[in-house]
Amino acid sequence: MPSINHTKPKTWWRWRPLQIAMIVLALGLPLLLTAWIGGSDAWQRVRQFPLGLLLLMLFLACLCWNLNAARLRLMLGGRAGPLGQRGALGIELASKFALCATPGGSGGPATLLVLLAQRGLPPSKGSAVFLIDQGCDMLFFLSMLGGLVILSLVSDVNWPHQALVQSALAGLVVCATLVSLLVYQLPRLLRAKRFRLTWLSRYRRRRLARGVLGFRQALKVTLSLPRTTLVAMLLLTTAHWLMRYSLLYLAVLGVGGDIDWVWTFLTQMLAMAASQLSFLPGGAGAAEVGVGSLLLPLMAAEQAAAAVLIWRLISYHLYLAAGAPFFLSYGFRLFKGIPSTGGYAPETKKEHP
């Protein structure tokens, strides 16, 4: 049976003191900001948060994980061996843990590629799956951003910092469009003379070319899936983000706030975009300050602080807590050389002498 360990275990994940300190700071920062902004009244709001709403938020978070796992199964289409909902959920949670535990979420894609490689899917093809995943997300957010921009221009909305919000929305639409065009034109750019990468050796250029060709082939295979499958992927993406971005709205309701769902959705989009500038895992600090600053004009300080804390506990800390066991389990299997494919190994052509 051929080996399916495509990565070096020792280089997959190494805990360093700086990383541990950054995660501890990211975990504790929401508590510090809550005490600083809302004081003791904010903690009182947290203690009085309705249990029913909290359970609903937990249910939505778990449902979001399962929706993403189902979407992963559709995108793979059997190319990574037999993958049930439980196995896909494990990959989803382990990847989300790495995403939340690293600055800029850089560990998420790397973990996903490693876990797919353990199931026999090469990194070039795994990166195509990741690109499709990001493309579905980008299509959803482009649609929502376009709708919000049109809404802000044609209707008499009363948003705080309206001019700033409209400018930010327009900027996000432009950035997302440019990224989409760059991905679409990538093959043509790589064929241009100025992008020949002559500073690389011939071996490395050939290796890169093989990787790009494998990536394009996997992308074509994914996009050639039945139309019903592609529509199902988009529907799962839409349902996931609508529920995920409803968590802040439920948190606001639980602390006694009265804000439109559209504003909480917009608040999270802008704040999470700003959180990419944070050097802490999960965008800690920037996410809390961004959401809090957009909620404060419409809520009391203690209400906003309590809502932000509960929202982060469900949308960030819960992801870490739920994903850590899966991440450690997969890491242990990787270090011990135990396949995580349930006995599956990719087929290889037999060479005859």
Q: Tell me the domain boundaries of the chain.
A: 9-336
Q: Are 34 and 305 in contact (CB under 8 A)?
A: yes
* pLDDT (tens digit per residue) in 151-161: 777 777 677 76
Q: What is the pLDDT of residue 324?
A: 92
Please list the alpha-helical segments (H only) found in 102-226.
107-118, 123-154, 162-184, 186-191, 202-223
Residue in 4, 32, 12, 247 with CA at minimum distance from that of residue 122: 4
Q: What is the pLDDT of residue 349?
A: 42
Q: What is the pLDDT of residue 147?
A: 82
Q: What is the pLDDT of residue 341?
A: 54
Q: Which residues of the chain have pLDDT under 50?
A: 1-13, 342-353
Q: Are 38 and 153 in contact (CB under 8 A)?
A: no
Q: What is the pLDDT of residue 11?
A: 45
3-state secondary structure 260-295: CHHHHHHHHHHHHHHHHHCCCECCCCHHHHHHHHHH
Q: Measured on CA atoms in the order 302, 303, 307, 310, is the torsion positive or negative? A: positive
Q: Are 248 and 307 in contact (CB under 8 A)?
A: yes
Cα(182)–Cα(316) distance, integer angstroms = 30
